[in-house]
Structures are given as structure tokens and as C-alpha cells.
């Protein structure tokens, strides 16, 4: 029994509050703990484990790829071990292809945030010819 519930019941026993008032107080203390539990459940449920890429085409050419997110994490961490001259070369090449993204600024915390928030990501592309591309994490 929690401390708050015990105090409320003691107050009813000593006649300080009525049963109706005690019921309201008990309902009030129940709601935050339910919310906390459900948000904790949501957090534990939400860590994605795989990234799925599914391509279906009208010609019956299908591609299914399932990539463990641990592999993506490990790969991103590997960027910290790329030699500086190679890193500059990679950044230049990415810049030429329209991706002005500096891999030197990638931090461990950023990678974890990215992976954690991938649960909400879903990309759906439907083409006129009936081709479909779907990217999501679960």
C-alpha cells in the first residue's frame, strides 16, 4: 500500500474526511501513477530493433531487407575511427552529391537519439505503375 493511500485511509478512520472525499483523493493519486506506468511501457516498447525496407513492384519484383539497428549503431560508431584525411575526402564527396553533412560532428548521443526516434519513422512511396516502397522500423 502506498504512503498516500495509507494517509487518506487514516484520515477517513479518524473522521477528518468523509468517504466521498477519500474516494476523490484516491482517484486523484491513482491517475499520475497510471500515466507514469503507461509512459514507461511506451518507452520500453518503443526501442526499435530492425529497419525494414520493402519494395513491391507491379512486375512481381519484390525486395525485402531487414537490417538490425545494432548494425547501424555499430557502423555509425565506426565513423569515429575513420582517418582524418579519409574523413575529409568523404565529406567532400558527400558535399558534391548534395549532402552537406560533416561526419566529424557526429556524436554518440546523436546516434542514440536518432535510433530511438526511428520508431516513429515510416516512409511510403507509391508510384503510378503500382510500385510501392516502404521503409519503417520496429
- DSSP 8-state code for residue 81: G
The least CB distance from residue 135 to another protein, in Å, is 14
The least distance separating another protein from the CB of residue 72, rounded to whole angstroms, comes to 8
| Cell reading at 4 | 498516500
| Residue 2 vs 58, nearer CB to another protein | 58
Closer residue to another protein in complex, CB, 22/56: 56
Shortest Cβ 118–another protein spacing (Å) = 15
3-class secondary structure, 31: helix
- Least Å distance, CB 69 to another protein, is 9
Output 24 or 66, the one with its CB closest to another protein: 66
Q: Is 131 exposed, middle or buried (0-12, 13-18, 19+ CB in 10 A)?
A: middle
32 vs 83, beta carbon nearer another protein = 83
3-class DSSP state for residue 47?
Answer: coil
- Separation CA 122–CA 90 (nearest Å): 28
Rg (CA), the chain: 26
Q: Which residues bind another protein (CB under 8 A)?
A: 49-50, 59-68, 70-71, 73-75, 77-78, 81, 83-84
Amino acid at each position: 500500500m502506498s504512503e498516500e493511500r495509507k494517509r487518506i485511509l487514516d484520515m477517513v478512520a479518524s473522521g477528518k474526511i468523509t468517504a466521498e472525499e477519500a474516494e476523490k483523493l484516491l482517484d486523484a493519486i491513482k491517475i499520475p501513477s497510471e500515466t507514469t506506468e503507461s509512459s514507461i511501457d511506451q518507452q520500453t516498447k518503443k526501442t526499435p530493433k530492425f529497419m525494414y525496407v520493402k519494395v513491391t513492384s507491379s512486375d512481381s519484383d519484390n525486395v525485402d531487407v531487414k537490417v538490425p539497428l545494432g548494425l547501424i549503431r555499430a557502423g555509425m560508431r565506426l565513423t569515429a575511427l575513420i582517418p582524418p584525411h579519409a574523413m575529409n575526402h568523404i565529406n567532400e564527396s558527400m558535399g558534391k552529391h548534395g549532402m552537406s553533412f560533416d561526419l566529424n560532428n557526429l556524436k554518440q548521443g546523436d546516434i542514440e537519439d536518432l535510433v530511438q526516434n526511428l520508431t516513429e519513422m515510416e516512409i511510403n512511396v507509391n508510384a503510378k505503375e503500382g510500385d510501392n516502397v516502404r521503409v519503417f522500423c520496429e
